[in-house]
Structure 1
Amino acid sequence: MSNSADSPTEPARRPALRPVRLLTAGVFALAGLIFVTSFNTAKGTNIRTDASLLKLSDLIDQRSHKNKELGESTAAVRDDVDALAERGDSSTRAEDARLKALEASAGTQKLSGPGLTVTLDDAPPNATANPGYPDPQPNDLVIHQQDLQAVVNALWQGGAKGIRVMDQRLISTSAVRCVGNTLILQGRVYSPPYKVTAVGDRDRLQSALTASTALQNYQLYVKAYGLGWKVDEHEAVTLPGYSGTVDLHYARPVE
């Protein structure tokens, strides 16, 4: 017998898996995992989301519109409550007069009289500096919270009996706040141009605007970069009554 017949037979080797087969198996396994995960997440519902719902600006607009509707609803309910709460014959004229005075001071009633409107606006697109002024930075070309606050404060200083910003009446708890170049007032969002209307003596109101140090600084930017500034006088103008809630959330009356 030859040596080859006596030598032990080597076991047959398993064919090595090719890299392509391994990759194919991995892809199918991953696809199966994604399918199972998607099924468990969806539970039979559509998991697609409209891209517009993901836009923060759309959400802000929706909330602003909802707040407007709630404000109008609150005003209607307040009118109903006032009608139901009319005093009987036992009430005195002094009490009624005091109540009306408090309503006027709170800003919940309409107010009419002479006044003026101040309009603030961003600089025109692609605005450049006028001769003698440095080139503007982005913040130099937009209206800021401090500018609106300066107008409102000056009008109060000038003896304004009531103030409206855009289409809303200001009261003692109102806060004028800006985020970016948008105004947020009592739950609603506004874009420039911003209009601030006051009822009061027009000469005193004008003098207060002129005397304001903050507005004097603002006028420099009006001249340098073209920020909007306009004052319109009214022989008669009517401000709406405040229609939102008057509850205090972060303060309490002094004992």
Structure 2
Amino acid sequence: MSLLTTVMDHSLDEGYAEAAARKKESGTTGVPKTLRAKLGLALGLVLAALVVTVGAAQARIAAPVLAKERAELIDRVEAATTDADDLEDEVDDLRNDVNARQRAALREHGGGKADLVSLLSGATPVRGPGVRLVVNDKKEADQGGGGPRDNGGFSDTGRVRDRDMQRVVNGLWQSGAEAIAINDQRLTALSAIRAAGDAILVDNKPLVPPYTVLAVGDGQQLSTRFQNSPDGQYLHALQENFGIRTSISVADDLRLPAAPSVTVRTAEPKAGKSAS
């Protein structure tokens, strides 16, 4: 009976009893670590869900305001586009009016040479035989050029530059061309060919390759003179050394448009005499 009494009175081993007493004295609870981890994870999920819920609520509140601002911005863009189109139409109308007045002035002061003056000034469309010269970049040319070629040499990008087109046009004039247009952009005595980065501008209008040059004149003679000229040889060197693609052909019927506008800044008709 003494053994049974001892077991009933002392059911917990003395070692376990001492460990339980130490935990009680240190103030630690008997919650297992795994349970504490699960409780922490659950708390984190609750906080994350709360943040997402609050963000969604704020987004729903702000959505109508953003939609209204977006609609207002679209309306402003459309209105500005409409205004720009109206201004462009007005510019075209004014340009046509200026061209008509210029042609009338040429007829009034040009006497019997009015048609010739109009042709040479680029104020009227022209039609006749001549040459068609196409100048294009090298196939698969490097698109990352560094601007126009300088006087020190050629660029190795294989792209046609403003200096090249200047020499082509000057060579055609010297070879007997009476009227020239590049990509339907008529050249006049006031025309300028320059560069803006890698783009070629003719009278501030950007052109894209291939560059089709139409030159009215004695077709076969014009072609022969140009190809034998220093500028024609320059173009041939570009083709041989840098892959610039060119082709020239004689045409029986070319049509060149009039220049968009011809502004005379200095000259004026002399009183009492017709301009010659």
Aligned-pair Cα RMSD in Å: 3.9
Single out whichever of 211-220 and 106-115 deviates more from structure 2. Answer: 211-220
Partner AA of 1:151 in structure 2: V
Gaps of 5+ in 1: 1-44, 54-62, 128-136
> What is the letter of the counterpart of residue 223 of structure 1?
E
* Distance of 1:96 and 1:168 partners within structure 2: 28
Q: Is there any run of 5+ residues in structure 2 with no aligned partner, and where?
A: 1-68, 78-83, 143-153, 271-276
Change in CA separation of 1:241 and 1:70 when aligned onto 2, cut-off 3 Å: farther
Structure 1 pair 101–214 and aligned structure 2 pair: CA distance change class (3 A)? closer
1:141 alignment partner, SS class: coil
Write the distance in 1 (CA, Å) between the matches of 2:218 and 2:127: 12
1:143 counterpart SS class: coil
Name the CA distance, whole Å, in 2 between partners of 1:83 and 1:233. Answer: 30
Cα distance in 2 for residues equivalent to 1:217 and 1:83: 38
CA contact (8 A) 1:68 1:188 kept: no
Specify which structure has the higher proportion of helix.
2
| 2:176 aligned counterpart, secondary structure | coil
**Percent same amino acid at aligned positions?**
22
1:193 aligns to 2:229 (yes or no): no
Aligned length: 182
Q: Distance in 2 between matches of 1:188 and 1:68?
A: 15
1:186-241 Cα distance to aligned partner (Å, 9 max, x none):
23111111111100001221123212324313322312342110112211111111
Amino acid at match of 2:174: Q
Relative distance call for 1:113 and 1:223 in structure 2 (3 A) is: same
Match of 2:253 among 226, 229, 236: 236
Corresponding residue of 1:111: 126
What residue number does 2:244 align with?
227
User: SS at 2:259's partner residue?
Assistant: coil
**Is the CA contact (8 Å cut-off) linking 2:130 and 2:250 kept in structure 1?**
yes
Q: Which whole-Å deviations, capped at 9, do the CAs of 1:149-200 have from their partners, x for residues lacking one?
A: 1111111111111011111111100011122331111231111111111000
What residue number does 1:147 align with?
A: 164
CA distance in 2, matches of 1:67, 1:149: 32
Distance in 2 between residues matched to 1:66 and 1:220, nearest whole Å? 47
Is the aligned partner of 1:167 residue 2:184?
A: yes
Alpha-carbon distance change, 173 to 67 in structure 1, aligned in 2, over 3 angstroms: farther
Q: Which residue of 1 aligns with 2:96?
A: 76
- Distance in 1 between the 2:103 and 2:225 partners? 39
1:133 alignment counterpart: none
Give the structure-2-normalised TM-score: 0.54
Letter in 2 for 1:78: V
Q: Closer, same or farther in 2 for the Cα pair 1:164/1:226, shift >3 Å?
A: same
| Aligned CA distance change for structure 1 residues 95 and 179 (closer, same or farther; 3 Å) | closer
Paired residue type of 1:182: A
Q: One-letter code of the match for 2:196?
A: V
Q: Which amino acid aligns with 1:109?
A: T
Partners of 2:193 and 2:87 lie apart in 1 by 16
- CA distance 1:185–1:66, change in 2 (3 Å): farther
Shift of 1:95: 5.8
Structure 2 counterpart of 1:211, one-letter code? N
Q: Given residue 107 of structure 1, which amino acid in structure 2 is its aligned partner?
A: G
State the 1:110 CA deviation: 1.3
